Structure 1
């Protein structure tokens, strides 16, 4: 905790003083890219990704210890009937992850990715944000600090994802608070909400943002009042990765809510991040426009679990391997352009 005694002050200080990219590593990577056996720019965005890896690791592009971190949390707003699934599904899915039975497990196996699951006090949902703040400042800051521990043990590419019944409602409220508009523009089906459930979801978002409107000019207040433990933890993980020179791939609609809060606090806070995919949730593409990110994939997915980020990690690994493994014109004895 900071000297002022306010838990968020440490995070505000971190966000104000973020390390930048390593320009020398980028120059070195760009020089090598120009010598590889291909026309300049022929690998398109793969070349940009290789340079991005160099910028944020400070070394030649490589991915040797990729990690998917899934944060699971429960939400009091589920009491408002915003999801067709019961809250118990969150814990059941965490067990499924641990048993290797979820989609994310199969993608991690396919791309040789590590996987960590973080159970964020599932037996104690956040407060119902239509009635009070979801978290107090100390609890939110502590959860962010816990999320920072995701990189403990080492990784050189962090993919963040989440699990939590009701968390698309929470993400929609964050987006409405950050970007304005109407609740209908930000609320989507999530796990399949339609009819009365979808209407209750819209009403919950409207009610929450109206209740907390006097405090929504501060991104960290938006996070604690309208967020959840998994969103706070993902924000902490993104910050920790930045401080430790670890590139990040953000997953979909809910994971991007954590990133959007940091972007609102400092527009440079996501420079070390890629967005893995654009979700089928209708508001996600608008969020990506607001934070200035172009997703790597558009597969019509809306599962969460870090699945889009993990699929994108395969592309990032391929970009690094092309950069490091391809022969140069001299090595291959191939004539360069005249």
Structure 2
């Protein structure tokens, strides 16, 4: 198959670069078109249905030291994609298979069965919506599960504070915390997001846009924070450190506060010593061997209703730039996706 037009988004070289080259801006997105790729031996052609804007877009445009170089201007954007294999010359991946992976942000992507990170495409199981392949069974859900089950393991009765509670990872983490017998408390921006997160499973919420963030956390967590699951960093991490319980844990899953601006210093790090805290982080792609087990558990809980997805879906190919930038400016209510087909 090679007839027709393949819409795509390319990496631009903007004139409005800011913050010393740290921010992802509108000028990084250039609309392009090409021919639908022809499938070669061992390859498959994936027709995209959803794009998943997240921190990986920032990372690919800016580069990630020690992981990969930035994409050159004119290169097709990369990101999370859910779609269907519509042509295949690879016996392991038959036509009609629904898959997710980090592929081109285009109507059609070629693959040899792996994605741009060099890991196998992920099959979307029967009975699960395509969007869920990018959310609960994608990086959001898997990060939430790995962070709790493999790298911290909250105990019954613990208070778990989750930043980015209205986002993809945080909203799922808040629903998983009670499975460990622990109490989920979230941080989000604004009364509307806090109310939605409460309805989505959090026991209490803290509004980082309101005054006295450390005091709000203290009120919501009167016995202290046993585990801080951090997706944001910056001032939120600083406020959490002064509220940690003795021998508490801090898990660094993400840092959205730093993606678009110069990173802010952490002033309260002395509490790491004063309270004998443990801090660790993890990189999603370092733990591919754990993905299948996580996805099986998450799919079971998704099907039986113990996990509910809070989605913020934009419609149309032209919505890509604004939707991709929204996550860096607090403009996301739930897990942002873009439905292009």
TM-score of the superposed pair, with normalisation by structure 1? 0.29
Q: Which has the higher contact order (CA 8 A, sep 6+)?
A: 1
The structure whose residues are more often helix, as a share, is: 1
TM-score of the superposed pair, with normalisation by structure 2? 0.29
The structure whose residues are more often strand, as a share, is: 2
